[in-house]
């Protein structure tokens, strides 16, 4: 093993962060200045979490992609927000493709000429709401090592060893095709889990002998991560699966899947982190396949299927992308890749019947073997599709989460507030720890109770006497008046909580004001909203409606920052 310092996996790879408008967090993005990327999570803008993660991974070529309407506030934040300006240079580029609108799918976005021109190497694609504690360099290393195990580009492994990835770019693929890597995480049974969180359906299979990374026993560090890689063979939002199950009265899987991958596991409580390491050729795949709308559902979904579904890779034009010779005539004319095989009705397969029914809601992965042998005697030397590797994060650490709803914004903020500060933990502190739990202790009155272990209080914030604050995150320049009681709350910058309020499980937006003697439970208050004195509310959303703008259809189902809701 090379020593970690000899490995600089991030060099030569670029990253694209998709900065969508944040429809799913609309209480806090009503004002255009406050795009999703700038929503505070544990007192730092969301975009800080991806930028600092990428920088730590050695990636410096970072592009933020955002609609033209939000360029100005994003640029301003990059230049002025102290958390963002404190990140190591160079600062990221901002790309605002002319044709990018709020409802555009992520794969459509990749086809935009400006984005096509921007992609020059293998690339990481990630959303602006991702918090990931898995070291990026471990993911990159795992990906690179498995690529060389596959006989993929040797230039990548050379790059790792010494000279930098001199040709990991467009041309560096002669030795074989590089695959990709995507990350999934468990949504349930975690401290930060919330009710009704969306999940994805993902089926994974063990890597083949020839694909297995060179680690066969449990070890620590990046190698352990490599040991846990598998291959994605199906991936789609759970909502799509439920729709299919209703339509088909069961989940239909193809024989060829279970035939090729008898040890397939299906996961239904995990979520696609939308964090992908893609080889350069994916740029061309996205460009050619005009029917791909979303990266996660279409591009990743079809790629995963193409690995085992004969003829699909050709249909997707992968053969042409790979400029590879193959025998066109081997394919029988009457056979269509999409319908070549019968489908297996899993519900009808006796031994798995009840378990699958249950599984859709449970967290146990199920394994099953193919019961039905189909004759595929005429195995043709088809197109070899590079695998899409899956890293499935199962334990509660390291932490991975997409923060794309108010409930997750709150639960994740509270979780991050429990991290020991750098002051307390020193070098052992989490990469997301703050220097201090209470940034401005002078602002806290004498007779207050604040549980420091699970609270975070920002710069210049004042807390008057007789307040009780537990398990909460309070931003900068906030005023908490005397006798207020806060528990499990997220109070954003510049807000005011007047005297004797009791807030439990609430999110209070920037510069909002809560009138005195109010009692709020599990409620959200939008930016700048004024809650009257003595308000008593539970499960309410207070926000200023400015009316939807005509050109914005806020439907949000397929738009590029919330494509899987």
Binding site for ligand NAG (CB under 6 A): 224-225, 228, 394-395, 460, 477, 479, 481, 496, 498, 513, 516, 533
CB 456 within 8 A of CB 412: no
- Look at strands 343-345 and 496-497 and give their pairing: unpaired
- Residue 477 C-beta: closest distance to ligand NAG, Å: 5
Helix H or strand E encompassing 115 = helix 113-118
| Cα-based distances in Å from 183 to 59, 212, 231, 270, 403 | 18, 18, 11, 10, 15
Residue 198 contacts by C-beta under 8 Å, 6 or more apart in sequence?
237, 238, 239, 271, 564, 565
Q: How far is the CB of 184 from ligand NAG (least distance, A)?
A: 12
Q: Which is nearer to ligand NAG, 37 or 225 (CB)?
A: 225
As measured in angstroms, the least distance from the Cβ of 218 to ligand NAG is 7
**Tokens found for residue 234:** 């199906």
Output the smallest distance, CB 269 to ligand NAG, in A: 15
Helix or strand (DSSP H, E) at 356: helix 350-359
In whole angstroms, what is the distance from residue 231 CA to residue 228 CA? 10
Max alpha carbon distance in the chain (Å)? 83
Closer residue to ligand NAG, CB minimum distance, 285 or 495: 495
Judged by beta carbon, residue 138 or residue 147, the one nearer ligand NAG is: 138
Taking the complex as a whole, how short is the minimal distance between the CB of residue 488 and ligand NAG, in angstroms? 23
Q: What contacts 472, CB < 8 A, 6 or more positions away?
A: 414, 417, 454, 455, 456, 486, 487, 488, 489, 490, 491
**Residue 87 or 481: which CB sits closer to ligand NAG?**
481
Minimum CB–partner distance for residue 390 and ligand NAG (Å): 12
CB nearer ligand NAG, residue 225 or residue 543 = 225
Q: How far is the CB of 248 from ligand NAG (least distance, A)?
A: 32
Nearer to ligand NAG, 75 or 460 (CB): 460
Q: 468 CB contacts (<8 Å, ≥6 apart)?
A: 448, 449, 484, 485, 486, 487
Q: Which of 91, 499 has the CB closer to ligand NAG?
A: 499
Residue 411 or 496: the one with the smaller Cβ distance to ligand NAG is 496
Minimum distance of ligand NAG from residue 301's CB (angstroms) = 24
Q: Omega of the bond prior to 562 within 30 degrees of 0, cis?
A: no
DSSP tally for the chain: helices H, then strands E? 17, 33
């Amino acid at each position: 093993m090379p020593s970690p310092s000899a490995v600089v996996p991030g060099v030569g790879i670029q990253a694209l962060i998709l900065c969508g408008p944040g429809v799913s967090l609309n209480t806090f993005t009503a004002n255009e200045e406050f795009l999703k990327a700038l929503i505070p999570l544990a007192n730092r803008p969301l975009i800080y979490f991806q930028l600092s993660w990428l920088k730590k991974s050695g990636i410096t070529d970072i592009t933020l992609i955002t609609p033209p309407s939000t360029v100005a506030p994003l640029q301003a934040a990059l230049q002025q927000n102290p958390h963002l300006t404190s990140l190591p240079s160079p600062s990221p580029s901002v790309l605002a493709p002319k044709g990018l609108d709020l409802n555009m799918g992520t794969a459509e976005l990749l086809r935009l000429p400006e984005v096509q021109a921007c992609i020059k190497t293998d690339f990481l694609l990630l959303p602006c709401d991702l918090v990931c504690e898995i070291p990026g360099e471990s993911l990159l290393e795992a990906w690179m090592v498995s690529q060389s195990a596959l006989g993929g580009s040797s230039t990548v492994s050379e790059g790792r060893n010494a000279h930098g990835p001199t040709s990991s770019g467009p041309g560096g693929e002669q030795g074989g095709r590089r695959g990709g890597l995507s990350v999934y995480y468990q949504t349930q049974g975690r401290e930060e889990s919330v009710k009704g969180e969306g999940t994805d359906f993902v089926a994974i299979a063990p890597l083949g002998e020839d694909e297995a990374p060179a680690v066969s026993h449990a070890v620590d560090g990046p190698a352990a991560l490599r040991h846990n890689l598998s291959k994605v063979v199906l991936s789609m939002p759970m909502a799509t699966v439920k729709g299919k199950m209703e339509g088909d009265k069961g989940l239909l899987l193809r024989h060829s899947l279970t035939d090729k991958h008898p040890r397939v596991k299906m996961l239904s409580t995990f979520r696609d982190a939308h964090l992908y390491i893609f080889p350069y050729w994916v740029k061309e795949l996205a460009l050619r396949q005009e029917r791909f709308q979303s990266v996660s559902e279409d591009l990743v979904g079809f790629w995963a299927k193409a690995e085992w579904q004969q003829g699909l890779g050709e249909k997707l034009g992968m053969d042409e992308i790979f400029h590879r010779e193959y025998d066109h005539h081997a394919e029988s004319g009457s056979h269509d890749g999409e319908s070549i095989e019968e489908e297996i009705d899993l519900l009808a397969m006796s031994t798995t019947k009840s378990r699958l029914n249950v599984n859709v809601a449970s967290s146990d992965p199920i394994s099953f073997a193919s019961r039905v042998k189909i004759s595929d005697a005429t195995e043709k030397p088809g197109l070899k599709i590079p695998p899409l590797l899956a890293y499935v994060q199962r334990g509660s650490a390291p932490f991975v989460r997409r923060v794309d709803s108010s409930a997750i914004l709150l639960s994740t903020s509270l979780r991050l507030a429990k991290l020991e500060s750098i002051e307390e933990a020193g070098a052992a502190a989490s990469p997301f720890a703050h220097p201090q739990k209470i940034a401005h202790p002078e602002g806290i009155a004498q007779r207050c109770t604040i549980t420091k272990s699970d609270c975070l209080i920002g710069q210049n914030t004042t807390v008057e006497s007789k307040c009780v604050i537990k398990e909460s995150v309070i931003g900068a320049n906030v005023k908490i008046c005397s006798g207020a009681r806060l528990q499990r709350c997220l109070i954003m910058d510049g807000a005011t909580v007047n005297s004797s309020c009791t807030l439990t499980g609430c999110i209070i937006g920037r510069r909002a004001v809560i009138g005195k003697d109010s009692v709020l439970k599990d409620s959200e208050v939008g930016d700048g909203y004024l809650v009257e004195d003595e308000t008593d509310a539970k499960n309410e959303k207070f926000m200023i409606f400015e009316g939807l703008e005509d050109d914005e259809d806020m439907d949000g189902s397929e738009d590029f920052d919330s494509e899987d809701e």
